[in-house]
Amino acid sequence: MRILITGGAGCLGTSLLDHWLPMGHKILVVDNFATGHRGSLPDHIGLTIVEGSIADVDLVERVFASFKPEWVVHSAAAYKDPDNWAEDTSTNVQGTINVVKASLRHGSARLLHFQTALCYGRPDAVPIPVTAPVSPFTSYGISKAAGENYIMMSGLSAVSLRLANVTGPRLAIGPIPTFYQRLKQGKECFCSDSVRDFLDMSDFVAIVDRVLPHSGVAGVYNVSTGEGHTIKEVFDEVVAYLGITPERPVPIVPVGADDVPAVVLDPTMTIKDLGWSAKVGFKETIRRMLNWYDVHGVTAIYSHLKG
């Protein structure tokens, strides 16, 4: 299979490369390396790397015309600077439009999109069903929701997966790498008073394998364990793993104005329609991530939040 992965140097894209390249697929990655890392991409005969932004319509057209992908995995997203609305719009909206239009022109059979759970904004209740209103309030969430809408109206054979916090190799965003790095350096930490759902990378790869090859699967699905855990629980797991005894209780601070107190996705429809459910529990998910950091370390940490 010929597979194009936008944003393929990020955590999700590189894990899919790890999974697919040994199977003999031909894969092309487009990435501007704003948050992804070139060093994360393997030297493999089946992999082609193109540096650039999907906001560059000419670049996108050249890539599709020359590579002729059968599957398109749209993982590229701008989130590095919450105040850079122009960059978020350029990548997450216009870039998505460029990818959609090129997919239509060049006859790509399938498009898979990865969506942030922040598309739901501040939900009325959790777990959040996939039928809940989409009402984002940040630049990242707004632009990602707009991109998803363009995909769904395009007529492509497409699936958009609204993802929990996927945890696995090369993760460089969120509390897990932050706590691990700071605690290893003897620095103090704090926890936001928030609840999130965490998904092991193996469960993410399993849902991708389930939906991408099957043209009869289309639409929007939540991908999550359906279980929420506090950031303090994450901190406690990292502390226990490192064998550290903190000198004082970790401060728990209120959720910031640009954040959401609780984001837990309800995967009921995904389980019913697709027969997929998460297999790895919370503690094992965190432990696997920390084991990976022990071997490979933590790269630069990014966040969609301010401050």
284 Cβ neighbours under 8 A, 6+ residues apart: 200
Helix axes 175-184, 231-242, angle to 10 degrees: 40
Q: What is the mean pLDDT of the chain?
A: 95
Measured torsion, CA atoms of residues 304, 81, 94, 207, in degrees rounded to the nearest 10: -30
Q: Which amino acid does the sequence have at 10?
A: G
Q: Does domain 175-196+226-264+279-296 have CATH number 3.90.25.10?
A: yes
Q: Tokens standing for 291?
A: 């084991």
Please tell me the predicted confidence (pLDDT) of residue 299: 77
Does residue 306 carry a pLDDT above 70?
no
- How far apart, in whole angstroms, are the C-alpha atoms of residue 275 and residue 120? 24
For residue 30, pLDDT beyond 70: yes
Q: Is the pLDDT of residue 303 over 50?
A: no
Q: What is the pLDDT of residue 301?
A: 52
- What does the alpha-carbon distance between residue 33 and residue 39 come to, in Å, rounded to a whole number? 10
Listing DSSP states for 55-111 in one string gives T-HHHHHHHHHHH--SEEEE-----S-TT-HHHHIIIIIIIHHHHHHHHHHHT-SEE
Taking the C-alpha atoms of residue 230 and residue 212, their distance in angstroms, rounded to an integer, is 32
pLDDT band at residue 258, thresholds of 50, 70 and 90? confident
- Strands in 156-273 per DSSP E: 158-163, 165-167, 191-192, 195-196, 198-200, 219-223, 229-230, 252-253, 262-263
pLDDT reading at 286 higher than 90: yes
Partnered with residue 158 across adjacent β-strands are 111
Strands 229-230 and 195-196: antiparallel
Q: Which CATH class is domain 2-167+198-223?
A: alpha beta
Whether the predicted pLDDT of 302 surpasses 90: no
Please state, in angstroms and as integers, the Cα–Cα distance from residue 162 to each residue in 153, 297, 298, following that order: 17, 28, 25
Q: 266 with 197: CB under 8 angstroms?
A: no
Percent of the chain scoring above 90 in pLDDT? 93
Calpha distance 76→94 (Å, rounded): 12
CA distances (Å), origin 107, targets 30, 73, 94, 99: 19, 14, 20, 12
Domain residue ranges in the chain: 2-167+198-223, 175-196+226-264+279-296
* Cis upstream peptide for 123 (omega within 30°): no
At 304, the amino acid letter reads: H
Nearest to 264 by CA among 149, 128, 161: 128
**Does residue 304 register a pLDDT over 50?**
no
Q: Per-residue pLDDT tens for 130-186?
A: 999 999 999 999 999 999 999 999 999 999 999 999 999 999 889 999 999 999 999
pLDDT of residue 294: 97
Neighbours of 240 (CB within 10 A): 13
SS3 category, 215: coil
Q: Is the pLDDT of residue 300 over 90?
A: no
DSSP state of 128: B
Is the pTM higher than 0.85? The answer reads yes
